[in-house]
Structure 1
Amino acid sequence: MTLPKMLRDAKILAQQELAPRVFFLVVEAPDIAQAAEPGQFVQLRIPLGEFILRRPVGVAAVDRKKGSVAFIYRVVGKGTKALAALMPGEVVNILGPLGHGFHMDYEHPLIVGGGMGLSPLLYYAAAMQKKGDVLIGGRSEEEVFWKDLFDELCGEVFISTDDGSLGFKGFTTEYLPKILEDHKYDAIIVCGPDVMMRGIARIAREHGIPCEVSLEKRMACGLGACLSCSIDTTEGKRKKVCKDGPVFSAEEVFL
């Protein structure tokens, strides 16, 4: 199915710093809010400075009644620093929604995320209407501020931190087998660092649980034309993360 893509100027409704260098951006984009599906992303054009390429950002939330779309992003360079400087009332240009998202027909999935990979998972959790549980990983308590965002969206919220400052002490890959001893899931949905996704996908395979991964790659166009996000698949075919993904079956891709 070909999904609609729109190019729109969107007014900024809110810009909030959730944690050091992590921002929550809300824009007014009614038609994109109506069309966006969990797991999809948009390409943002930053109006300030000489930023030629758009920035890919996963959809973190939508409010179809208000016609708003929200994104969570981390300031990592000049482009995202300029984006964070924008104020309510200013405008960003949006291309989207792009790509293919998560399957929505699971009855009880486990959502697993780390770092900024949790951003698109937030929209998925909201769309599942508390059917799913979530495992949030981070280096320390400061990095798992996501807990407050997922609390109202999921059944159970599991936390792991590398230093043990909150929840289970260790990596998500160490905590997951313990969770699976006491809980049954019909899918695992994961987004985050490649090393984490690789480990989670392996554990899911060992337990016979379908696993979907959302890949993050550098993108220039977001439309499949520039080939900058091309990847090899286990079938021996080349696919584009922006157009064929960003969500893939874990069995389909090399992590």
Structure 2
Amino acid sequence: MHLDAKVHQYDFTVVSNERVGDGIFRLVISCPELASLILPGQFMNFRVPGDASHIVRIPLSFASSDAGTGTIELVYAAVGEGTRRLSLLEAGDGSDLLGPCGHGWNVRPGGRALCVAGGVGVPPVLAAARALVQAGRTVDVVLGAQTASRLWGETDALALGAGEVIVCTDDGSYGMRGFATIAVEKLFSANEYDLVVTCGPNVMMGAVARIAEDAGVECQASLERMMTCGFGACSTCNVAMRAGGYKACCMDGPVFDAKEVAW
């Protein structure tokens, strides 16, 4: 395997890196070359400074990019040593990244679309929602989190001009109490959709995919896997396919046709 020819290494500078929730951080970087190239649903592989022994890059999706300002906004959870060090970067700090990586959302004009995100799956879903709104669609958004302190993205969804925005928390500390799939079923009973996009916990995405398939609605899912190398060589991010065999999340995804995935 080899690095995709369209993927290049870029230097970036931190514009801001702020805590927005319990272990959740919003990072804005300046990377003008990539900001004009990266598409919703693609990701970047970051080299995080601070530990020379940490040779594995960190794959992160993004919430928005602005070619005019040359900036890219990401939201991530500090869950390991690499992301913990990433959370310590301050404005003016810099490093390098690889991008744009993978295949993103298939965004096109159409009817009403539903965007469903859970946990740290919010950024790529918001990127999809923004692109779908720009394509002229009416877009509803469902956001799910364990608790209010782990929630992010509700104001961003409203700001991008989405239709109905429903927030769910497992413990009822914000919005609707219960899983995001409850809100999905509610919206499906009230509206007609021709597209669903989703990212979040695998169990949630599998349930959303089944709801969409039963209704005969196209569903695209951005999968979360341990993408160790980011270019298909290590086989740690394999995705089992319904038809048999596996595909690499980093190269063939991260966005897949949900009905092709063996949930």
The answer as to 2:110 corresponding to 1:110 is no
Tell me the equivalent position of 1:137: 144
Tell me the equivalent position of 1:62: 65
Q: Shift of residue 163 of structure 1? A: 2.2
Tell me the equivalent position of 1:208: 216
Tell me the equivalent position of 2:93: 90
Amino acid at match of 2:108: D
**Identity, % of aligned pairs?**
37
Runs of 4+ in structure 1 deviating by more than 3 angstroms, as ranges, are none
The answer as to 2:168 corresponding to 1:166 is no
CA deviation vs aligned residue, 1:65-97 (integer Å, no higher than 9, x gap): 011112111111111111111111111211001
Secondary structure of the residue aligned to 1:35 is coil
Tell me the equivalent position of 2:22: 20
Any residues of structure 2 matched to 1:157-236 within 5 Å, and which? 157-236=165-244
Q: In structure 1, how many angstroms separate the alpha carbons of the residues matched to 2:200 and 2:109?
A: 21
CA RMSD of aligned residues (A): 1.5
TM-score (norm 1): 0.95
Structure 2 residue ranges without an equivalent (≥5): none
Q: In structure 1, how many angstroms separate the alpha carbons of the residues matched to 2:13 and 2:147?
A: 34
Q: Shift of residue 60 of structure 1? A: 1.5
Q: Shift of residue 225 of structure 1? A: 1.9
The answer as to 2:127 corresponding to 1:123 is yes
Give the paired residue count. 254
8 Å Cα contact 2:108-2:132 kept in structure 1: no
Q: In structure 2, how many angstroms separate the alpha carbons of the residues matched to 1:135 and 1:11?
A: 32
Q: Shift of residue 238 of structure 1? A: 2.2
Tell me the equivalent position of 1:241: 249
TM-score (norm 2): 0.92
Q: Shift of residue 168 of structure 1? A: 2.2
Structure 1 residue ranges without an equivalent (≥5): none
Q: Shift of residue 4 of structure 1? A: 2.1
8 Å Cα contact 2:42-2:102 kept in structure 1: yes
8 Å Cα contact 2:43-2:62 kept in structure 1: yes
Q: Shift of residue 106 of structure 1? A: 4.5
Q: In structure 2, how many angstroms separate the alpha carbons of the residues matched to 1:155 and 1:6?
A: 37
Equivalent of residue 260 in structure 2, options 234, 240, 252: 252
